[in-house]
Every structure is written in structure tokens, then in C-alpha cells.
Amino acid sequence: MKFFVDTAEIDAIAELNDLGMVDGVTTNPSLILKSGRDILEVTREICDLVDGPVSAEVVALNADDMIAEGRKLAQIADNIAVKVPLTWDGLKTCKVLSGEGHMVNVTLCFSANQALLAAKAGATFISPFIGRLDDINLDGMDLIADIRTIYDNYGFDTQILAASIRTVNHVTESARIGADVITAPPGVIKALANHPLTDKGLDAFMADWAKTGQKIL
């Protein structure tokens, strides 16, 4: 499974990237706002930092403007994935940009039918939002499973990019079902290393080591 980090914070990306934990980056208007940076500037910096796809989102709502914005974003670097919403205009944009050879990430997916349309429009990635479905008492993992089944049934190349991930269990279940990619905030990715029994075992080892009175350095 590929790990994308869902942030526009350069330091957080760099820390995970140094550990080999970053296969790509996703951003959106909310994350750009949080970073306080210019979208073109910070996106270019991220693209220079990581080798994998970097999703940069259009903000127009009609296809013609989305296409124009997508082309401008794609000029930033070769590893840009233009991010478009799963609307009819977004699908039109996906078809045009993917036809021009650009990676396209279709976002805000909440149904298997939407995912099917995105794949037929040539999407590189489909981003189903797990956490937001959980918020309205639907199981976001059911959507990941449905998309996996449909894509496998028909041999679609579109990669399932599980998004809106809020817990480590979301990551585990996405991996079990067979999502190609997860994108998660840095804190969630780092939390994958945590387990209370690891902490308990380490405390016991350190207590016993102290009793030996020895030093390695």
C-alpha cells in the first residue's frame, strides 16, 4: 500500500519523507489555508521534496475554468496530479486532462456509482472519503470494498485512494480491503507505530537494563 500524506506543511512532509513513509502528497484548499502559503509556491516546494504524485486542487466550478486551472497547476512539476471534484464538470475536466497525459485525482467521492464514472472518465486516482461517511452513520469502509469489487470486476486502472482517514483502524481496514493508497494527516501516519504493549515492554526492558548498571556508550 502507498502512503500519501495529507498536508501542505513542508516540515511534516520532510520528516516522513526522510523515513521513506511518503509515496505522495495530497493537498486541498483547506490545507493550503492552514499552511498560510501561496498555493503555487508551496505546491512547487512539495513537488521538489517528494518523488511521487502531489495532488493540487482546482477551485473553479465549471469545466472550462477547471481545465484552465488544471493545466496551470500541471505546469508546476511533472509529478502534479490535478485534483477535481466529483461533479459532472469535474468528470469533464478529468476526461480532458487525463487525455492530455496528466494525472487526475477525482475527489469527494461518496458512492460506488461516482467511482465508476470517475474510472470511465480516466481518473488516475479516486478519493472516497471514509471519515465523512462515518460522520453520518454510514460505514466508509463499505464504500472502499464496493469500489474495489467493481474496479476488479472490470479491470479499471484507477487507483483507490482512501481519504478522510482519521484513525489507525481506517488504515488497517483500507489495507485489508485492498485500497491502493491511503492519504492521512502526519499524526495518523505516525500513530501507526503506537501500541500500549510496545510501550509496556520497553518500560520493562529499560527497568531491567538499569539494574545491570551497564552502558553501551
Give catalytic residue positions: 83
Contacts of 90 (CB under 8 A, 6+ apart): 63, 66, 84, 106
C-alpha dihedral sign at 79, 8, 180, 129: negative
Cα separations (Å) of 100 from 31, 51, 82, 103, 125? 27, 21, 12, 9, 16
Q: Which residue has the cell 483500507?
A: 174
Residue 27 near residue 54, CB atoms below 8 Å = yes
